Amino acid sequence: MKKTITLLACLLCMPALAQISSRHPKAKLFLNKLKEKTTVSHNRTQTLCVKDSTIFTNWNVNTSSWKSYLKHEYGYDGYLNETSNTSYNLSNNSWKASGRTLRTFNGGVNVLVELRQSADFLGNWKDNSQQTYTYDSQNNLLSQFYESWNSINSTWTKGTRTTNTYQQNNLTTSHSEHWDNAASTWISNSKDIYTYSGNNLMTETYQSWDLSSSALVNKYKDTYSYDIFNHPMGITEQLWDIGSSQWINELKIVIAFSGNNMTSAIISEWNTSNNTWVNSDKITFTYDANNNQLSELDQIWDTGSQTWKNSYKYSNTYTQNRLTMQLNQEWITNAWKNDDRYTYTYDSNGNQITQTFEDLQGSAINNSKTFDFYNCTTVGMYEQSTKTEVFKLYPNPVQSELHITADLDYTIIRILNITGKEVMRSEGSKNTISVSLLEKGIYFLQVLDKGQNILATEKFVKE
């Protein structure tokens, strides 16, 4: 199957939406993507924080205490980009460096090089692999190139590369290749082809390399549909049938919304014997008055009784709009049985400082806890908000003209420096603003409505 990096990253970071993944992984990836929100921030604050380190622990049943085993330390540049992530293993009550990732950025926005290294027994850093990235003038990713380090020859060995093309900032093709040492040439692996209506993704066709024909051939195609509010209402996946040279239905998802909240998704499979869609899975979501997701109920279609049967449930608890607990339960013998639980705590600045996992069915030896530590600096007023609308600044970094893409009803644009001081204000809903007179550095652009309410905030870098 294809590698959709952003979707996989979303899936891995969410404990919920997991059960159906084993049955319909692509369907769950798609639904996870829909549930993503663009978070500029969550509250109003005068403090700017960066994560300094994370400590990972497991529960020690013998001492009834948390035992550390892994630590990550983070470094940043002047633009607050994470330039280093160093991992340490605990050995004989002492932290020993084991690996690190070093990143280089182009003026504070896009990563150019990502170098991975490991430490030998003497503590010396040894190269393992690196990825290099290129971008167009609007910060769209054009290429990603992976190399591994050959310690015998002390040279970088070509591995894989991905090249992308765009139209009006929409990704239209993504071509993956690997390096053939014997032939000294790039060999295709796969290609994704995307089509749009406006900014809405309409189709995604996946092709893979066929050795017999030495060509890229169709594998599957996803077709998307939307409502009048541009909410994704469904996806239909089809497989390419080589014999008939046509697309054959495989999977369908039908989605319902209430406002901007996804309330349900029904997954159906194509029955080839009678050419009809057959119910497979159903997911139902509930929310509180602040649009925080309270629950997710996963159900499986029972063909015998022709009804939905409970399978799994996730229940969330919030304090001041921050997730503090997620209880996961499995439906067993006509009753909900606790499976596992995640609990979260926060500091006074709203930063998550602990995440605790508890196995409620097995042994406490499976329990784990992470501790996050931050460095915080008091800065000027920085309004933060959570938005689902489109809000994008480009190019970023910028030298002169900054373009604004925003699906928001704003009438005022203002720019703040890193201390929170307003340095520029513009009336009207213009989509371009000149920042050529600003000094180099980090700034925040805010859009406000006619009542002076801040609708969204985004960081940009002036070169």
What pLDDT score was predicted for residue 451? 79
Q: How confident is the model at residue 5 (pLDDT cuts 50, 70, 90)?
A: very low
pTM to 2 decimal places: 0.76
- Which has the minimum average pLDDT: 35-44, 204-213, 391-400? 35-44
**How much is the average pLDDT of 307-326?**
96
Q: What is the pLDDT of residues 383-437, one digit of tens each?
A: 444 444 467 888 888 888 899 888 788 888 988 887 677 888 888 888 889 888 8
Average pLDDT over residues 190-201: 95
**pLDDT tens profile 256-296:** 999 889 999 999 999 999 999 999 999 999 999 999 999 99
* Residues 90-114 pLDDT 10s: 999 999 999 999 999 986 678 999 9
Q: Mean per-residue pLDDT for 191-215?
A: 95
Nearest Cα residue to 438 out of 451, 456, 421, 458 = 421
> Is the fold of 47-381 the same as that of 389-462?
no
Query: Quick one: pLDDT at residue 327?
Result: 97
Instruction: Answer yes or no: are the C-beta atoms of 406 and 447 closer than 8 Å.
Output: yes
Task: Write out pLDDT tens, residues 103-152.
Answer: 999 866 789 999 999 999 899 999 999 999 999 988 899 999 999 999 99
Question: pLDDT band at 23, cuts 50/70/90?
Answer: low
pLDDT of residue 2: 33
Task: Tell me: pLDDT of 194 over 80.
Answer: yes
- CB of 305 within 8 A of CB of 295? no
The reported pLDDT for the residue numbered 150 is: 96
- Give pLDDT, residue 22: 61
Q: Which pLDDT band holds residue 28 (cuts at 50, 70, 90)?
A: low
Domain ranges of the chain: 47-381, 389-462
Q: Is the pLDDT of residue 9 over 90?
A: no
Overall fold of domain 389-462 = Immunoglobulin-like (2.60.40)
Identify which has the larger pLDDT, 347 or 47.
Answer: 347
User: pLDDT, tens digit, for every residue of 333-392?
Assistant: 899 999 999 999 999 888 999 999 999 987 777 899 999 998 877 554 444 444 444 678
Looking at domain 47-381, its CATH architecture is: Beta Barrel (2.40)
Res 199 pLDDT > 70? yes
